[in-house]
Structures are given as C-alpha cells and as structure tokens.
Chain A
Amino acid sequence: MTEKSRPFAITLDPGTSLQNHTGSWRSSRPVYVDRLPPCNNACPAGENIQNWLYHAEGGDYAAAWQSLIRDNPMPAVMGRVCYHTCETACNRGQLDEAVSIHAVERFLGDFAIKEGLTPVVDAPPSGKRVLVIGAGPSGLSAAYHLTRLGHAVTIREAGPMAGGMMRFGIPKYRLPRDVLDVEIDRIIGMGITLELNTRVEDIDAAFDAEGFDAVFVAVGAHLARRTEIPAHAAGRILDAVSLLRDVELGATPPQLGRRVIVYGGGNTAMDVARTAKRLGVDEAMIVYRRSRDEMPAQDFEAREAEEEGVLIHWLRTIKQIDESAFTVEKMRIDAEGRPQPTGEFETLEADTLVLALGQDVDAAFLDAVPGVQIAGDGVVEVDSQMMTGRAGLFAGGDMVPSERTVTVAIGHGKKAARNVDAWLRGGQYEKAPKAELASFENLNTWYYDDAPKRVQDQLSMVRRQSGFEEVEKGLTEDNALFEARRCLSCGNCFECDNCYGICPDNAVIKLGPGNRFSIDLDYCKGCGICATECPCGAIKMVPEIA
C-alpha cells in the first residue's frame, strides 16, 4: 500500500496519537516516594528490614544477609534475642498478623553461619586507631562498624569471654552459645584485636600513651540493685546477674534448694526463674509488685515461664523473711498505675531468694576523666553525637541513658561508630532526614493475599524443663521464604508493575528489573489511579504548579 493510494483522513497510520501530548491536561502528577516502613522506623538497631526482606523474598539470602549486616552484625543472635519492636509496628498486623521478622532474621543469620558468609570491608584504611572498652553487644557492634569504616580497632574486655550480657544475661535456651561464638568470632575475624581479661583503668593513657585516636566505652550495667527487706534470719539471697553468670561459667552449679523465689518483673526475673527450673528446683516462683499489664518483661517470657511451671505471684511485695518463710503483702494498682499496699498478707515458702531488681553501671574508672558527667546510678551522660564531655571519648550501650536491650546496644554501637568516624574525619555525623512514615492508610491491601503467619516450632515441654536446649526452633527455608513474602514492602516500590499495568494512558515507563518505573509526563493525565492502586503506598500525587 503506498501513501498515495491510501484513503485520505479515514485511514490513519498506527500509533500516531503519540503526537498528542495529553500531559497538558494534568493538574497533579504522580511522584514515586520511598516512605519509611514502620518496621525500619521501630528497629533500635536501625535495620533496613524492608530491604533485606525484599532480597529474601527473591530467595537471595546472601544478598539479604549482606543488606542486614550493613546495620547489624549479629543476625543469628538478633533473630533469637531481639524483642522485635518491628513486629509490633508491622502494618501487616492490621491486616492479619505481623510478619515474623525475627524468624526470618534468624534464618538468614543461621544461613550465613552455615554458608560461612562474611561481611565485605571495602573502605580504605583510615590510619586511625580506636579503642573499644567492653566486648558486649554495643562494643562489638561499634568495633564492627568502625572496622567497616576503615579504622583499626582494639577491644579490651575485663571478663574472660566476649559477649557481655548476651552471654552472661541471656540463658542458653534462648541463645545457644555456638551461635553467639560464631557471630563474635566473625566480627573479631575482620581484623579486630580482642584483649580479654583486660580492665581499662586509665582513659587518658589510652589516648596519650597508647595513641588511640578515639575511645568508645560500653561496659554495660552489671551491678545488681539490692533492696532492704527485714530479715530475722535470712535464708540464701542471691542476685540475678551473679546467678546467671555463675551458670554460664558453669564451674559449680549454684545451690538453690528445692524452692526459689525470684523478686522482680523484668526479663531477667523470668530468665532466672526459668533457669532455676532447668537447674532442677521443684518450685520456681516470681514475686512482682504489679500486675501482668505493668510488668517490664516481654509477655512471651512470662508466658513461656508459666508454661514451664514457673508460678508468678502478681501484686505482691516481700515484707519480711524468716528463714524459709516469706511474708508478702498484696498490692493493688491505683489510678496512676502505681502499686499500693492493701494490708493483706500471706506467706510463701522458699529456700532461696534471687533479686532481679535491675542493674547499675560501674563507671568508677571514668570518675577521674575530666568533663565526663556521671549520674548517681553510674549512667554516663553523652551528647547527641554519643560523645562524653571528654573529646574523643564516646559511650553507649547500657551505661548511657536508654532502654537496656541487646538491640538498643547494637544500635548504639552503629551510631557511635558513625559519630566516631565523623569525628575522626574532622566533621560531625549528619543523620539523613527521616522519610515520611508509611502508615497502614497509605497501603492498598487488596493486592496482598491472605497469608497466615508461619509459627516457629518449640522444644517439647519435658526437655524445656530439664535442660538448656534452645526452646524456639528456626524456620525451614520454605517457611522463611513464606514469611519474607508476607512483607507488604510498606512505602517502598517492590516492582509489582501495578502502576505500569493500571495506567489508562500507558504513561508509566517500566525501566526494567531493579530500576523501578518513571512517569511519562508527556502523556500522564494525572488521573491518580496509579497512586490509589499502588499496594505499598510508594506513589504520591503532587499538585502541578501553574
């Protein structure tokens, strides 16, 4: 068919409407955004959870793990001991159940151990030396991140083993020591010098005599808090920290008698009671002055403790001890949520009392350091850069004001490392501004299938009550993949092609795998369907400026 013979006007060349730029109709335009997923927002270690789940969904566990350890060097530990505030925040919880993020994290951590994966250190050496004091989670984390940033790190640990509260505070049945050891060894193996049984007493010497360019202190909080209880003839009274430490070091099992009372309502109290049960006591009891609703312990800790036979006496204070007779007073919660005595008493029988009332910091070695501010309970003041009053001396973990969890400590390590790095380079670390939060309302959940959460298996009750084998099992690969794929990818494009497919004007350009999409503003009429139908809320309509 030639141009000449084709009928005029009624017959048209294909696709010629591309000459008609309908973009001029638009009064608002779609813009791709990366909103902050609530899991990421809630993670004390600042993990980019959505991102590593994205890789895990594709079955690329190595990439997922590498993404994960950009923020957290210990996924196998974290997947076991973290109280996963991410899951509380998870938008999927409003749809059916939160994604079991910790279980996938643990799977990835275990996968990396099995495969022998190691972190990539690609920063050029800075020539700077940093001393880290304390080989707990915060110190290890800081050392790891500083190493990745190119600095030479030495860790000095007063105790005989690295790990801090991960080793001496968390029982084996929640964190098997082989897992902990592997992850610590991997960090140290990056070229970090670890000096055990080395207590640092002179900070100034570290700077001046040894020539460290910066020091990060993270010695934790190990001093058990005590309380005054009138005792005619006190029986055996122990503190939780010492008890757990003794169990860990395992020289001689502590003699607890037949019945144990643990005093306190935190996670440590639960751990001690459950540990006592495993050590063979007949009765492990917890006495706590408030009710379940107010307890600082995680609900699952209390639940699992009870499952294992721990008896929790809520709303009780110990008033008096007489040999093995403990007089307790019933309490009630007042309008302000505080426990108030009722004047009613009862008696409990026990051979040992373990105090689990919290810990204080032993910061005496910093007393002499000029400029360092230390509170009554030993907590050290730091500024927004995590630096103490002494230039180049940074502090983090349980010894600075914060929530005392392993995850927070790991987060402190990262944050401190960034600040130390910036300081060493003569600048100040500027945190990237937080993106707008991806709320549940930003999502179009229609596009997500119903998918009930995969549950982790647990050790049989008999074995839970008789030994220190790990209680919580890991997910199989299938289930881990399933869980990863339950992620809604809140606020972050996961290349579902919805915008590309759903545009009535073909005005969304697909850029190919990994490259997401762009809007063809020549043709986009601004109808907004792409934004409405984006499952994860990664498109925003923005008014055109005339």
Chain B
Amino acid sequence: MTDDTALQRVKFYQTGTRTVGNRLLTEDDRTVQASMGRSNAITSGHRACQGCGEALGARYALDAAMRAADGRLVAVNATGCLEVFTTPFPETSWQIPWLHSVFGNAPAVATGVAAGLRMRGKTDVRVVAQGGDGGTTDIGFGCLSGMFERNDDVLYICYDNEAYMNTGVQRSSATPPTARTATTPALGDAPGNVFGTGKNMPRIAMAHNIPYVATASVSDLHDLEAKVTRAMGICGARYIHVFVPCPLGWGSASENTVLIARLAVECGLFPLFEAEHGDVVSVGKIRRRVPVDDYLRLQRRFAHLFRKGAEDRQRIEAIQRMADANITRYGLVDAEDDQ
C-alpha cells in the first residue's frame, strides 16, 4: 500500500461504489436512486407482490433513463406483471407517459412511437419499451427482432424473472433447467424444466449487430444505472436484460430478492456484460464467487434438488457447469483468483 493516494482518489469504502448513495459524494456522482429528486417513474401504491424484483428493476431503469433523457421520456409496456400491477383502473403508478397495447407488440409499438415523435418534431423525447421475459423472449420475439433489425431508436428493457408470473408461474423460454413451474412440475425422471432448452436473449440481440446490448441485475444498482445511462446516450436499437427475482414464482423470501439476484451473479449463472455492435466489450467480474448451491437453495422452485437424503447432485453439478461455462466464456473471474 502506497501513500500516494490523492485525496480525491480515496474511495468511500463504507458507502463507495456499492450502496445506493453516499453522503460524501457530489450529487452527480451518486446513483439516481439516492436522489431525493428522482423521478419515481413508478410510484407507491402499485400492486406488485412484497419484495418484487421487477417493480424495483423497472424503477431503477426508468429513473435512470429519465435522468439521462432529462425527463423527456415515454415508455411502452408489454402485457405482464409490470403492466398489471401498475395500471389497474382507476389508478396508475406511472408518473411518466406510458402506453400499453398488447402482449407481443411492445417493440413495434415503440418503433411507431419513436417514428411518430420524429415526424412530429419531438426529437428530444426518447423511447423505452419494456416487458417481462415471456413478452420478450417468446411472444414478443418477432417484433423485438424486427425492431432490432431496423435499428429503431428504442431502448428495450427485458425484466427477466424466468417464467410467466402474471398468469401463475408457467414456463417461458427463459426458465432455467430444473426450475419448477406450473407447467414444468417437479415430477418424473426430469423434474422441473428440462436441460438443453431456453433462449439466450442477450446473445440473440447481439447477433442483430445492434449498437448496444447489456445485462444487469437489481443487485447492482450502480452497474444497472451506468448501463441504462450508457444506452440512453446511444441512438438506434438497444437492449438491456435485467435479472429480477420473483419471490412468488421462485418461492423465495421477500426480503431475499436482492440477495438472490446477487448470488445469481456471483455464482456465474447470470453474467453481467456489455456488448457493442455484436461484440462483448466489458464484463462485470465476480467479486465473491459462490457455488450455485448457494443461489439455488434459497428458492423453492429448486427445492427438489435438495431433498433431504436425496440431494440431486448430478443436476446441481450440471447447473454448476452452466455457471462455469459462463465464467469461462465471459472471463468473469480473474485468473489468479480462479482457484
């Protein structure tokens, strides 16, 4: 340790780069969420379940986008939990202009919104489209791909809670192997969702060569806000895939939402990275690596892997291999630490 640490370079180890705010940082260096003047794009009184990761992720993302757009932002929403819990007549939680059409068309509606704004000369107003994993990776996939391919000036944000939660926890193409859902019960020879299925939506987005693709997690607000801010600074089609645990669908304690999201990152199952024009340009390194067990064990959807006396090591190890593959693919662990 050297003594040459200039005062301004002294990090705030207490409050520094990980907590939401820091009384010692200048207003500009704090997160948007730390600000008393944040836009609260979704305000109180919404009907999300206790500990909802999506409610949190959406406010994180949209408040950051609002700051980046200087308040000139409109949002388009696919059908899903986020839509339902924010806008049941006669009350809405949204405090920004917001439009919901149907389940599968949010990216296309957003394209139209962007085009309409351009044609009306409102070029300063930016457009965000958002949906859950079902609305993104399944039913809205065609429209999303079309929006990407045309490179429309839309930031699409997917809040991934790995199943159709709004309809009662059915499998989507984002549901991980072995996860129990209403349509992949923990029964038979291959309990839960089967291995070898599912879409890697961020990679698919990258394959469109759009200017910006990123993954983010509600467990890392600074990273999430930086990515949204980055995306908002770019024109063209952009995609951010946010990991949002669902206490109801995952069978986890409501207070553990952020913890579980963090463990997903730290075990390697949910890699954090950014890509530009199809190439990965940065990755979020794992800070305290944990085995996938730590992540899986907190969720009842994986409970069948940890039955007393019959722990399903084979499947847990297969999931560990998925995590390890991510770690290798993205270089999530620095070589010297990787023991």
Contact = CB atoms under 8 A, between A and B. Distances in A.
A118 interface: no
Given A447-B18, A532-B256, A485 B12 contact: yes
B91 interface: yes
A452 interface: yes
Interface extent on B, as a size class? 35 or more
A494 interface: yes
A535 B18 CA distance: 10
Interface in B16-35: 16-24, 30-31, 33-34
Interface extent on A, as a size class? 35 or more
A478 B5 contact: yes
A542 to B, nearest CB: 13
Nearest to B89: A9
Contact of B11 (A14, A485, A496, A529): A485
B36 interface: yes
B48 interface: yes
A241 B20 CA distance: 55
Contacts of A512: 36
Contacts of B11: 449, 451, 485
A19 interface: yes
A104 B20 CA distance: 26
A58 B23 CA distance: 8
A505 interface: yes
B90 interface: yes
A184 to B, nearest CB: 31
A21 B43 CA distance: 12
B44 A522 contact: yes
Contacts of A22: 44-47
Contacts of A532: 255-256, 258-259
A497 B92 contact: no
B42 to A, nearest CB: 8
A241 B18 CA distance: 52
Interface in A493-514: 494-498, 500-507, 510, 512-513
Interface string A391-418: 0000000000000000000000000000
B59 interface: yes
Query: Residue among B11, B12, B221 with the most chain A CB within 10 A?
Result: B12
Interface string A261-301: 00000000000000000000000000000000000000000
Contacts of B284: none
A486 B12 CA distance: 8
B6 interface: yes
A495 B21 contact: yes
A449 B13 contact: yes
A347 interface: no
Contact of B90 (A16, A449, A477, A501): A16
Contacts of A489: 14
A65 interface: no
Query: Residue among B20, B48, B221 with the most chain A CB within 10 A?
Result: B20
Contact of A501 (B33, B48, B53): B33
A525 interface: yes
B56 A496 contact: no
A342 interface: no
A504 B51 contact: yes
Interface of B: 1, 3, 5-7, 10-24, 30-31, 33-34, 36, 40, 42-48, 50-53, 55-56, 59, 86-87, 89-96, 221, 247, 253-259, 262, 288
Interface of A: 9-10, 12-22, 25, 57-58, 446-449, 451-452, 454-455, 476-479, 481-482, 485-489, 494-498, 500-507, 510, 512-513, 520, 522-523, 525-529, 531-533, 535, 541
Given A500-B21, A504-B55, 17 more contacts: A12-B90, A14-B94, A17-B47, A18-B43, A446-B18, A446-B288, A476-B3, A481-B10, A482-B5, A482-B10, A497-B22, A501-B34, A501-B221, A504-B56, A522-B44, A528-B253, A529-B51
Nearest 8 Cβ contacts at the A-B interface: A497-B21, A501-B20, A528-B255, A17-B45, A501-B33, A527-B51, A496-B19, A523-B44
26 contacts: A10-B89, A12-B89, A12-B90, A14-B94, A17-B45, A17-B86, A18-B43, A18-B45, A22-B46, A57-B12, A448-B14, A448-B16, A448-B18, A452-B1, A478-B10, A485-B14, A497-B30, A498-B21, A501-B20, A501-B31, A501-B221, A502-B258, A504-B48, A506-B59, A528-B255, A529-B255
